[in-house]
Amino acid sequence: MQQATETAPTIQPPVAAPAQPGELTKDTYKGKIHPDWCPGCGDFSVLSALQTALFELGLKPHQVAVVSGIGCSSNLPGFINTYGMHTLHGRGLAVGSGLKLANHELKVICTGGDGDGYGIGGNHFLHIMRRNIDLTYIVMDNQIYGLTTGQVSPTSVKGMKTKTTPHGSVENPINPLPLAMVGGATYVARAFSGKQKHMVEIIKGAIQHKGFALVDVFSPCVTYNKDNTYQWFNPRVKILEEQGHDPTNFHKAMDKAYMWGDEIPIGLVWKRTDLPSLEELEPVLHDGSGPLAYRKLGIPEDQAKELVQELL
């Protein structure tokens, strides 16, 4: 028996050399297409913050993959110059998980909206957290379904009138932060499109964090959500980093995560670094042969013999 033949050449794992000074500018991350969001949409701020974060971290565009679901905010991968996937409604995290596990040297950033992530994709959200896969999830939470022109979302507040709740929503919204904390996320933060500089730091922290990081961003929908506007958020949001909040204290973090009303905290709510990521726990990734995606295929003769032997 011979070694399996392979027509594709043997692949060497890419060397992730650090960016040279001047090699990257913020414009490097600019996508080909100008965003098709409504003027004033909070998502512009998130895109810009993400581009700044990538630039400041010196990450080369081809070493980053931005994976989204479907929705207004999920159009983001088309507007940023990195590898991208624009998947199915609610499936960004599942596809992103597969991508990350197959090439754990890529920086994978999943983006999407509240309906995409907390509604139709809710099951993947729950399970990626307990797995602690090392990727960053940025949710542009506008508390409304925008692309379908204004229906109630899982984070719409009780009483909110939308096209599908004309008499006001009678359901309670999801609060993604406590959910993420008990779900096992190891970096849980909130940002606001009106505080872009702060958001850059939050996203940088999320990307650098080894494990699953959730950044829930208040990203107002200026067209369909007339309740939770910039004007509504501006006086309410309070930056946790300015308040001396200790993100490693679970109970205090939980108190902050639940706050809503006149004062709404933004910033890093909860973080733990004592849990390994799935990639660190998975022995298959640690035999020194680089990402799974680049490995040579085929079963060597000695292994083939063992497999056949089991059947005899």
Partner 1 sequence: MATVDFAIGIGGEAGQGIATPGDILARIFARRGLHLNAYNAYQSIIRGGHTFLTIRASDEPVTNMGDKLDVLIPLNQDAMDRHLRLLRSGACVIFDAEKLKPGEHAEGVQLCPMPMKQLCGTNKLGGNTVAIAATLQMIGIEFEPLEQVLTRQFKKKGDAVITENVNMARAGYEYAATNFKPFPVKAPRGAKPLGVVTGNQAVALGGAAAGVKFYAAYPMSPSTGVLMWMAAHARQLGIMVRQVEDEIGVMNMVIGAAHAGCRAMCATSGGGFALMTEAIGMAGMIEVPVVCVDVQRAGPATGVPTKTEQGDLWQVLGAAQGDFPKIIVAPSSQIDLFKTMPELFNLVDKYQCPGLVLADLLISEGTSSVDPDELNFNVKIDRGEIIFPTTSGNGETKNPFGGCNDNAYLRYKNTESGISPRAVPGVPGHIHVAATDEHDEDGTLISDEFTNPTKRRMMVEKRARKMETVLSRIPAPKLFGPENAQVTLVGWGSTEGVIREAIAKLAGDEGIVANHLHIKWIVPFHVDEVNRILGRAKHVIIVENNQSGQFARYLRSETGFNAHGHIRKYDGEPFMPHHIVNAVKEQLEGKAQLSVPAHEILV
In the structure encoding, which two tokens stand for residue 115, read together? 């309906």
Binding of residue 284 to partner 1 (CB under 8 A): yes
User: Of 32 and 251, which has the nearer Cβ to partner 1?
Assistant: 32
* Stretch touching partner 1 by CB under 8 A, among 27-35, 47-55, 136-144, 168-176: 27-35
- Tokens for 109, please give them: 């950033």
Task: Tell me the backbone φ, ψ of residue 77, rounded to 5 degrees.
Answer: -55, -30
Residues 35-54 that bind partner 1 (CB under 8 A): 36
Is 292 a residue that touches partner 1 (CB under 8 A)?
A: yes
Q: Kindly write out the interface string for residues 119-138 of this chain, putting x where it contacts partner 1 by CB under 8 A and - elsewhere.
A: ----xx-xx-----------
- By beta-carbon proximity to partner 1, the closer residue of 131 and 210 is 131
57 binds partner 1 (CB under 8 A): no
Told to check if 1 binds partner 1 by CB under 8 A, we report: yes
299 is a site residue for partner 1 (CB under 8 A): yes
List the one residue from 33, 182, 275, 281 that touches partner 1 (CB under 8 A).
33
Nearest residue (CB) to partner 1, 60 versus 252:
60
Nearer to partner 1, 191 or 285 (CB): 285
Strand partners, 237: 264
Interface with partner 1, residue 295, by CB under 8 A: yes
193 within 8 A of 185, measured Cβ to Cβ: no
Distances (CA, A) of 243 to 140, 205, 240, 265: 24, 18, 5, 10
Q: What is the DSSP letter of 172?
A: P
Which range of residues in 171-179, 182-190, 227-235, 284-292 is near partner 1 by CB under 8 A? Answer: 284-292
Long-range pairs of 84-92 with CB within 8 A, sequence gap ≥ 24: 89/116, 89/120, 89/121, 90/116, 90/117, 90/119, 90/120, 90/121, 90/122, 90/124, 91/121, 91/124, 92/67, 92/68, 92/116, 92/117, 92/121
Binding mask 68-107 for partner 1 (x = CB under 8 A): --x----x-xx--xxxxxxxx--x--xxxxxxxxxx-xx-
Count residues binding partner 1 (CB under 8 A).
Answer: 77
Helix (H, G, I), strand (E, B) or coil at 234: coil
Please choose, out of 58-66, 178-186, 228-236, 247-255, the segment that lies near partner 1 by the rule CB under 8 A: 58-66
d(CA 193, CA 269): 17
Tell me the window of 7-15, 50-58, 258-266, 267-275 that interacts with partner 1 (CB under 8 A): 7-15
Q: Does 7 bind partner 1 (CB under 8 A)?
A: yes
For residue 268, the surrounding DSSP H or E stretch is: strand 264-271
Q: Smallest distance from the beta carbon of 146 to partner 1, in angstroms?
A: 15
Burial of 218-239, coded b for 16+ CB within 10 Å and e otherwise, reads bbbbbbbbeebeeeebeebbbe
Start-to-end CA span in the chain (Å): 18
Q: Is 13 in the site for partner 1 (CB under 8 A)?
A: yes
Q: How far is the CB of 6 from partner 1 (least distance, A)?
A: 5
